């Protein structure tokens, strides 16, 4: 059964009628460009064939009733005129925050009954929260015939997460969920929001492995990393690290903390790698892609300090199989989660077998493997 069929049937069961519509928003994997987004830099994600599905109908009043299939069919109800933070059903705060952001421009929206379910692994760094936010926005935009485009939706999703949920995320996750394209990755300039698409090479797979080291962005050191980047930018008298280069960083090294220096060095070099990776993929330069993804991972490990021993082990296992024929790195906010690899068809079985036989033996954790495709965004 498809996930849209699942939420449709659940809606009929809970609300006693067929839903007015269904919506889907994908999760994402970032091929390169980590912690560059909130620094005004470049990222290179792809939307993937995992996401959030909603079946919904509008109401004549301002009540929102939502059933979450992934949380034991919990029912949450609230009024659009009295949206409060919910400490009991924390998942519903993404809905509440998104609707507050939406009503700043569209205060007239009506309530809705809906059922929601997602299959993006939570806490894995594949952006289950942004997928959830964009699906909600697509749902309410459709039910209320709002002229909301993908960039506007992404900004509202980010606003909800920053201001209501309490995570200082950048714009990448929401924008790729809204604007991804099938079989393509998106080079996003996070300052101008300029988008360029790049076809993923034929014969390669998006091979994603969840380390099953659990992490929580809001409670992790994610916000601390952002503060450290801001410290470095302030020392260099810049609005953001986007405008920094290594020459300027070295000239100001003595004025900033050692930690701020390392964080800035990661961001500056990661921006360079992201632009180079897009170009290398377009030219089919697989060995260069491999080197850039490896350098990205080592920078996240040594300069940004966001990998874990299990993640590093997983990257090594895959790198040993790929050599220069593909690339592998940690993806996502860090402190656990997933690695992403570009794996050619002829090495796919070999890489999968290596992970399955070595990772658990070396770490005591059992991995989850997802062989993904690049998919369309909710507003694309």
- Could you give the residue numbers annotated as active site? 173
CB 329 within 8 A of CB 339: yes
**Rounded to an integer, what is the distance from CA 106 to the centroid of its chain?**
26
The pairing of beta strand 63-68 with beta strand 112-118:
parallel
Number of residues that this document lists for the chain: 380
Residue 277 pairs with which residues in a beta bridge?
none
Calpha distance 349→375 (Å, rounded): 23
Q: How many CB atoms lie within 10 A of CB 12?
A: 14
Radius of gyration of the chain (CA): 21
Which of 99, 121, 101 has its CA nearest to residue 112? Answer: 99
| 186 phi/psi in degrees, rounded to 5 | -115, 120
The residue to which tokens 């809905």 are assigned = 95
Calpha distance 46→52 (Å, rounded): 16
CB 331 within 8 A of CB 30: yes
CB 53 within 8 A of CB 7: yes
Alpha carbons within 13 angstroms on the beta-carbon side of residue 252 total: 22
Burial label for 76, CB within 10 Å (0-12, 13-18, 19+), is: middle
Q: How many CB atoms lie within 10 A of CB 189?
A: 15
**Rounded to an integer, what is the distance from CA 305 to the centroid of its chain?**
19
Contacts of residue 55, defined as CB under 8 A and 6 or more positions apart, other chains included, come to: 4, 7, 8, 10, 11, 19, 21, 22, 114, 115
CB 362 within 8 A of CB 311: no
């Amino acid at each position: 059964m498809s996930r849209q069929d699942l939420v449709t049937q659940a809606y009929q069961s809970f609300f006693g009628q067929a839903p007015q519509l269904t919506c889907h928003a994908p999760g994402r994997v970032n091929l390169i460009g980590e912690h560059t987004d909130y620094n005004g830099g470049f990222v290179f994600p792809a939307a993937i064939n995992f996401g959030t599905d909603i079946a919904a109908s509008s109401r004549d009043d301002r009540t929102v009733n939502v059933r979450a299939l992934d949380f034991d069919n919990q029912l949450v109800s609230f009024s659009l005129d009295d949206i409060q933070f919910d400490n009991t059903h924390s998942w519903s705060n993404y809905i509440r925050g998104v609707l507050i952001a939406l009503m700043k421009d569209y205060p007239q929206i009506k309530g809705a009954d809906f059922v929601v379910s997602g299959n993006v692994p939570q806490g894995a760094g594949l952006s289950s929260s942004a997928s959830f936010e964009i699906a909600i926005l697509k749902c309410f935009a459709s039910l209320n015939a709002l002229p909301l485009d993908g960039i506007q939706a992404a900004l509202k999703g980010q606003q909800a997460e920053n201001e209501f949920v309490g995570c200082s995320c950048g714009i990448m996750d929401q924008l790729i969920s809204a604007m991804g394209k099938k079989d393509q990755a998106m080079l996003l300039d996070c300052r101008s929001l300029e988008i360029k698409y790049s076809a993923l090479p034929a014969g390669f797979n998006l091979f994603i492995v969840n380390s099953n080291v659990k992490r929580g962005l809001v409670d992790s050191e994610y916000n601390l990393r952002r503060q450290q980047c801001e410290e470095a930018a302030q020392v260099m008298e810049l609005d953001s690290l986007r405008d920094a280069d290594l020459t300027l960083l070295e000239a100001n090294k003595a004025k900033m903390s050692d930690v701020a220096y390392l964080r800035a060095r990661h961001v500056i070099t990661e921006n360079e790698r992201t632009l180079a990776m897009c170009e290398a993929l377009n030219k089919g330069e697989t060995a260069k892609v491999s080197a850039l993804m490896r350098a990205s991972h080592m920078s996240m490990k040594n300069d940004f300090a966001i990998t874990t021993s299990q993640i590093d082990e997983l990257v090594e296992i895959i790198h040993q199989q790929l050599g220069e024929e593909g690339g592998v790195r940690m993806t996502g906010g860090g402190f656990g989660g997933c690695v992403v690899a570009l794996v050619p068809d002829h090495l796919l079985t070999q890489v999968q077998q290596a992970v399955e036989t070595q990772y658990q033996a070396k770490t005591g954790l059992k991995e989850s493997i997802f062989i993904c495709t690049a998919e369309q965004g909710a507003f694309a």
